[in-house]
Amino acid sequence: MSSVPARAEKKLHYAWIAAGVTFFTLLAAAGARATPGVILLPLGNEFQWSRATVSTIIAINIFLYGLIGPFAAALYQRFGLRRTMMAAMALLAGGYGLSTVATQYWQFVILWGVVVGIGSGMAATVLGAAVANRWFTEKRGLVMGLLTASTATGQLIFLPALAKAVEVNGNWRAAPWIVTGATLLAIPVIWWLMRDSPRDVGLRPYGETGPVETASSVAAGNPAKRAIATLVEASRTRDFWLLAGSFFVCGASTNGLIGTHLISAAFDCGIPEVKAAGLLAAMGAFDLVGTTASGWLSDRYNSRYLLLMYYGLRGVSLLFLPMALLGPTAGLGAFALFYGLDWIATVPPTVKLTGEVFGREKASIVFGWIAAAHQVGAACAAYAAGALRTVTGTYTLAFFSAGALCVVAALIVLPIGKGRKVVPQPATA
């Protein structure tokens, strides 16, 4: 392993370099997750597939993206952060690169649904939680907010570029090639700068003092068994199901519905695809602010009340969206502002509550399972919204249903943390 430059050691704690590399990795992965929303229409038009058919591929992708999360957290422990992050980028590059020569439905299911789904799951919010938990004691909420905001930054950077590339080239394949290049670029950066834990550079986590820990950060044993065992233990508590249920709604109302179908819904209302992609990018800019602020707030205020506010405001925004799509541009701007600020602001307080209930040692794997519920919700919404659009000719019912679910989620978060807590067992964060 290469030594850390002395100059970097003098200037700042290496935890910030690890966080920066993770941000860059999550940024590249965000481009991969933004791609389906941009090319849903042109892909379906080329192969004469309905939106329900294309949505099925995306639903498989989203489902695996979530399902792999807890196993990815165990892989971080078994093989280290650096190797797992590099493998994730390689899977994304291979899946999207090969998809440009795919011609059959089953090929897209394997490449986009399975390969890209697994790669995305290995470089998702769970990665940010693992890095924040392993490298930081102080400012952990802020760092989690910043790493979560990488998704928003990815939208801000990639969505307009992908939409413009597809428009200029007249071919949806331009978007996967851009994502392939970005993920390939991330691999050498990870190899050069990423480290698995503070002990690898002779440090303690940021905010801690004292002698450097000598215990290995690599856990022995089967990662899959560890992930399953942690799920079995966590599932015996009410709090796990409340966290997972609320995060199911989070996924359904963000990645599954808005992230996948907003561009198509806007197109139905006469809004050009590039302009609709710009709307999503604007939401990404607001989300960058909202999620970072949420991380700061979660270090200072009750996470239950933050989640109550976030889900409530999101529900109101979704109930307003059908009118905004048919009304003046100012209405869409207001939606982009309020929904964007709230897009994934739920993540930092959810991660904090997970750590409080299940302990620092198991927080990453438990949050992986909670994030899996997020993506199950997203997969259900991605398919259901496409099916409702095919049957009814509009997305209105999908938007109203998601808004109602958000109101339910706002209520069920309040009892979290008031039930039985899991007694932490020795493990590596």
3-state helix, strand, coil in the chain (%, to 5): 80, 0, 20
Per-residue pLDDT at 280: 72
Residue written as token pair 């280290």: 80
Residue written as token pair 């691999």: 187
Report residue 109 as tokens.
């299911």
The percent of residues above 70 in pLDDT, for the chain, comes to: 90
Query: b vs e for 257-278, b when ≥16 Cβ sit within 10 Å of the residue's Cβ?
Result: bbbbbbbbbbeeeebebbebbb
Q: Is the pLDDT of residue 53 over 90?
A: no
CB atoms within 10 A of CB 401: 18
- Residues 107-115: what's their mean pLDDT? 93
Query: 8-12, 98-102, 289-293 — which is least confidently predicted?
Result: 8-12
**Banded model confidence at residue 5, pLDDT cuts 50, 70, 90:** very low
In angstroms, the CA 111 to CA 67 distance is 17
Q: Is the pLDDT of residue 405 over 60?
A: yes
Q: Is the pLDDT of residue 1 over 50?
A: no
Query: Do 75 and 196 meet the contact criterion of CB atoms below 8 Å apart?
Result: no
CB atoms within 10 A of CB 234: 24
Query: Do 283 and 135 meet the contact criterion of CB atoms below 8 Å apart?
Result: no
In angstroms, the CA 78 to CA 313 distance is 40
In angstroms, the CA 106 to CA 412 distance is 39
Per-residue pLDDT at 26: 93
**Banded model confidence at residue 95, pLDDT cuts 50, 70, 90:** very high
Per-residue pLDDT at 2: 45
pTM: 0.73
Domain 6-202+224-412: CATH class, spelled out: mainly alpha
Q: Is the pLDDT of residue 404 over 90?
A: yes
State the burial class of residue 77 (Cβ atoms within 10 Å of its Cβ: 0-12, 13-18, 19+): buried
The sign of the dihedral angle between the CA atoms of 272, 376, 341, 411 is: positive
The sign of the dihedral angle between the CA atoms of 104, 106, 109, 112 is: negative
**Banded model confidence at residue 278, pLDDT cuts 50, 70, 90:** confident
